Structure 1
Amino acid sequence: MELDARGLKCPLPILRTKKALASMQSGGQLRVLADDPAAQKDIEAFCRQTGHELLEVQDGPGEGVQTFVLRCR
Structure 2
Amino acid sequence: MRKFSLLDHELIPKHEIMSEEDLKTVLKMYNIGKEQLPKIKVDDPVIQEIGAQAGEVVKITRNSQTAGEAYYYRLVIA
- Is the structural similarity TM-score above 0.5? no
TM-score by length of 2: 0.36
TM-score by length of 1: 0.38
